[in-house]
Structure 1
Amino acid sequence: MGGWVGQVIGVINVVVLVVSLGLEAWAFVHALLQKAEAFPAVETLQKGVWLALIGGTMLASLLFYAFGMLFAMIALIAALVYLLDVRPRIREISGGGSRW
C-alpha cells in the first residue's frame, strides 16, 4: 500500500509494537522479581519457563519484526496471560506485595 494509508498502517504497527514491548518488559521484570517457590504454589509453569517464554517471544518479536506482527502478537499474548492470570495469583499468596 502506498500513500498515506501505508504510513498510517506503519505508525499503528510501531505503536502496537511499543505498547506490547512495554507490557512484555513489565511481565518479564515482575516474573524475575518473584520467588521461584511462588510459581508451583499457584499451580503454574516454573519461574524459568515463564522467563524463557516471555523473554524469548519478546526477543523474537524484535528480531523478526520485519516479517510481520506474528511474533509481536505471540509475545503480547504470553505477557498478557502472565499479567492477567499468574500475577494476580502470586500477589494473592504473597500477601498483596507490590501493586505493580
Structure 2
Amino acid sequence: MASSAPIFYDDVLVYLGLLLLILSLVVQAVALIHCLTQRGDGFQAIGTLPKGAWAAILAVCIVLTLLLGSGATGIFSLIGIAAALIYLLDVRPGLKDLSDGKGFW
C-alpha cells in the first residue's frame, strides 16, 4: 500500500501531541500555583470568583487532563487551558494591580 506521507509522519504527530500536552499542563500548573499563593480577600476585592473556586476549577482541570489522557486536544484539556488562560489574563492582572496599589478604585 503506497502512501504519500513520509515515513516519520506518525512519529512527528506523537511528539507534537506530547509537546502540546506538556505545554498545556505547564500553563494550567502555573495558573494553579499563582492562585494558591494569593490572598483570599483579593479575589473578592476585584469582583471575581473566590479563591477556593478558582483553585478547585484549576485543580480539577489538571487532574482530568492527566487522568483521561486524551492529549492536548481532548475536551477536558481544552477546557483546562481555557480556564487557566482566563485566570492568567483576567484575574491575575487584577490581583497584581490590587497588590501594587494601582487599582481602578
| TM-score for both structures, normalised by structure 1 | 0.86
Larger proportion of helix = 1
Identity %: 35
Is residue 65–residue 71 contact of structure 1 (8 Å, CA) maintained in 2?
A: no
Asked if 1:26 corresponds to 2:40, the answer is no
Amino acid at match of 2:36: L
- Spell out structure 1 runs of 4+ moving beyond 4 A: none
* Pairwise CA distance, 1:4: 2.6
* Pairwise CA distance, 1:5: 2.4
Task: Give the gaps of 5 or more residues in structure 2.
Answer: none
* 2:49 aligned counterpart, secondary structure: coil
* Pairwise CA distance, 1:50: 0.3
Deviations 1:9-61 (A, max 9, x none): 21111111101111111100100010100001111111000000001001100
Asked if 1:6 corresponds to 2:5, the answer is no
Task: Give the gaps of 5 or more residues in structure 1.
Answer: none
Amino acid at match of 1:59: V
- Aligned residues between the structures: 95
Larger radius of gyration: 2
